[in-house]
Structure 1
Amino acid sequence: MWVPADEVCTHPNYGIHENQLWVNDIAIIKLSKKINFTNMIQPVCLPFDHEELPGNSTMYVTGWGVTGAQIDDRKSARLKQVQTRSYTNKDCDEEFLITVPDVVLCGGHHHGSSCYGDSGGPVVHLPHYCSGRRTLRVTSPRVILLCKPSSLAK
């Protein structure tokens, strides 16, 4: 399905944080027409303002990023999904020795995480208040570790 964008609204505070992490790298796209929902096309819940995802929450990351340990590895030809977990920013700071700004969610897992080429893709979790729908975060470029825990836009 192809639906043109009518309007794109980027976050007014988009930019690079002092420790070189991109922050607020998110936009909302208004489509030019309504779409019909199906069992394959469903809306997502957006997180509430200042909603914190507790540490060790289950999340799912999808993307076409590299699947090897090297930056020059080939991107996946197929869409991949990995189950991962969230870290509190304090735990991320302590484990990976990097200061994570409050507007960034730290997440990942030693058995699988987002990697280069996954930026901009969805990170979802299933909250109790969302009637079976998942809330959405966005995978961000990061500087923590290649294909290890990553920073995600809240």
Structure 2
Amino acid sequence: MACIILSNLLPLVCLFYFSIYSTAAKPDGCGIRANTQTRIVGGEVSYPGKWPWMAALYRSNTNQYCAGALISDRHVLTAAHCVSGVHPSKLHIRLGEFDIPGRLPTSSTQPNKSSSGTLLDENSNGNNLYSVEKIIVHQQYEPRSHLHDIAIVRLGQAVLFSPVIQRICLPPPSLPSLEDRTAIVAGWGTTAFLGTSSPSLREVEVPIWNNQACLQAIGKNVFNTTLCAGGRIKSADACQGDSGGPLMMPMVDDRWAAIGVVSWGIRCGEPTKPGLYTRTSHYTDWILSTVQRTA
């Protein structure tokens, strides 16, 4: 059992990390970035290797349409609305990428083989495209209200970890209030409502809202399983194509945890309308048991 302290949060929290790590996992654990260069965020292009757990989701013959986060050597955490009703054979996932191709090649694409020459550098393992073996959508997912908008994707092959492919940590089942703290969301989604997608991974820092204030701003469908975050003064938000990606927060030892999953919002980047995320800590036990059951 590993014990961690979240930055500026008083309680000591412990996670049974080993239950989601196979023997293929690196001994240094989750949430560690090989590239620790720092940069001020705020809707800017990121840089290669900064968020090595980011996953790009593709359906057959479509552009990248959702994101996710690698949480073990076989599992990606994402939003239910991204994968609900999708057959595993129609879904592919790219890992270890910074600049991504808009559409998967249509000719002789082999899962788990690099097909576009878009690998970051010599650290990438050449197996950046993965097939999907199983999709597990939360059993209580409600599409109309976005309640329980969370899912786990099991890859068809174990991941070979590298400096540009790592897994992110999970938060403990109970967290102190995160209100007014800041987190980071990253993705390849559109840079404005109904705008064009970004071929390069982008990131933005967002403040976390009180749920009551969020409910007043949004008007409905804000639950205790919801986490709200977004710019109150300037535009800062996830947008189309970012769905399923992680809302991330650092820990004192510079390990990162996925505290939320991009779920939905009203337009994008409006200061009075935060983005809505599935609160990962509410589902930590479900995630761990699901990953263990499908290991």
TM-score (norm 1): 0.80
Report 1:76-91 matches (<5 A).
Answer: 76-91=198-213
Q: 1:72 aligns with which of 194, 197, 206?
A: 194
Tell me how far apart the structure 2 counterparts of residues 3 and 77 of structure 1 sit (CA, whole Å).
19
Report 1:33-48 matches (<5 A).
Answer: 33-48=157-172
Q: 1:101 aligns with which of 223, 229, 237?
A: 223
Q: 1:3 aligns with which of 127, 130, 142?
A: 130
Q: Aligned-pair distance for 1:23?
A: 2.0
- Change in Cα spacing, 1:146 to 1:57, as seen in structure 2 (3 Å) is same
Partner of residue 13, structure 1? 140
CA contact (8 A) 1:62 1:122 kept: yes
**Within the alignment, does 1:139 sit opposite 2:266 as a pair?**
no
Code of the aligned partner of 1:14: Y
CA contact (8 A) 2:235 2:269 kept: no
Number of matched residues? Answer: 145
TM-score (norm 2): 0.45
- Change in Cα spacing, 1:6 to 1:117, as seen in structure 2 (3 Å) is closer
Q: Aligned-pair distance for 1:139?
A: 0.7
Q: Aligned-pair distance for 1:86?
A: 0.9
Q: Secondary structure at the match of 1:151?
A: strand
Tell me how far apart the structure 1 counterparts of residues 162 and 177 of structure 2 sit (CA, whole Å).
28
Partner of residue 185, structure 2? 61
Unaligned stretches of 5+ residues in structure 1: none
CA contact (8 A) 1:53 1:86 kept: no
Code of the aligned partner of 1:81: E
Report 1:122-133 matches (<5 A).
Answer: 122-128=246-252, 131-133=253-255
Tell me how far apart the structure 2 counterparts of residues 34 and 73 of structure 1 sit (CA, whole Å).
35
Code of the aligned partner of 2:261: V
Tell me how far apart the structure 2 counterparts of residues 48 and 133 of structure 1 sit (CA, whole Å).
14
Q: Aligned-pair distance for 1:21?
A: 4.0
- Change in Cα spacing, 1:117 to 1:91, as seen in structure 2 (3 Å) is same
Q: Aligned-pair distance for 1:33?
A: 3.0
Partner of residue 153, structure 1? 278
- What CA RMSD, in Å, does the superposition of the two structures yield over aligned residues? 2.2
Q: Secondary structure at the match of 1:22?
A: coil
Q: Secondary structure at the match of 2:264?
A: coil
Tell me how far apart the structure 1 counterparts of residues 218 and 198 of structure 2 sit (CA, whole Å).
30
Q: Aligned-pair distance for 1:49?
A: 2.3
CA contact (8 A) 1:21 1:141 kept: no
Tell me how far apart the structure 2 counterparts of residues 31 and 116 of structure 1 sit (CA, whole Å).
24
Map Cα deviations across residues 50-109 of structure 1 (whole Å, 9 max, x no partner). Answer: 4355111221111222223xx332222322111111112023234x15241111100111
Percent identical pairs in the alignment equals 27
Tell me how far apart the structure 2 counterparts of residues 50 and 24 of structure 1 sit (CA, whole Å).
17
Code of the aligned partner of 1:3: Y
Higher-Rg structure is 2
Higher helix proportion (structure 1 or 2): 2
Partner of residue 26, structure 1? 150
Code of the aligned partner of 2:132: A
CA contact (8 A) 1:9 1:28 kept: yes
Q: Aligned-pair distance for 1:9?
A: 1.5
